[in-house]
Amino acid sequence: MRKVIIPVLICLLTITGCSKRYDEQTITEAKKVATSYIENNYKSVESIKLEEPYRGQMGSLKVDGTVNEIGFSISFNEDLTFKGISTEEKFPERKDECKDTSCEY
C-alpha cells in the first residue's frame, strides 16, 4: 500500500507545484506590460486579447493572447520586465525602430 501512496503524492505535489496562482496586482501589472510592449513594438495592432497569466515550465510568468486574432506567448522576468515573445505566423511586423532592440514600453 505504501508503494502506491508515495508515487501518487509525488505526482500530486509536482502537478500542484507547477500551477502557481498570482495575486491580482501581479496579474494586472503583467497584462499592462504585455499590452504596452506589443503596442509600442509592433505595427498595425488593432486588437489585443490576453488570457490569465500562468507559470511556465521554466518557472517564469507567462501570458498568452492574440493580436488581431493571431496568437502569441510573452514571458516576463521576476521584476515583470519583458523577457521574450513567441508568435504565430502572420503576427504583425516589428516597427522599424524596434527591430534591433525593443522600444520603450
- Grid cell for residue 62: 507567462
Q: Tens place of pLDDT for every residue, the chain, 105 residues? A: 555 566 655 655 555 445 568 999 999 999 999 999 999 999 999 999 999 999 999 999 999 999 999 999 999 999 999 999 999 999 999 999 999 999 998
Can you tell me the distance from the alpha carbon of 90 to that of 75, in angstroms, rounded to the nearest whole number? 20
CATH says 21-92 is which class?
alpha beta
- pTM for the whole structure: 0.77
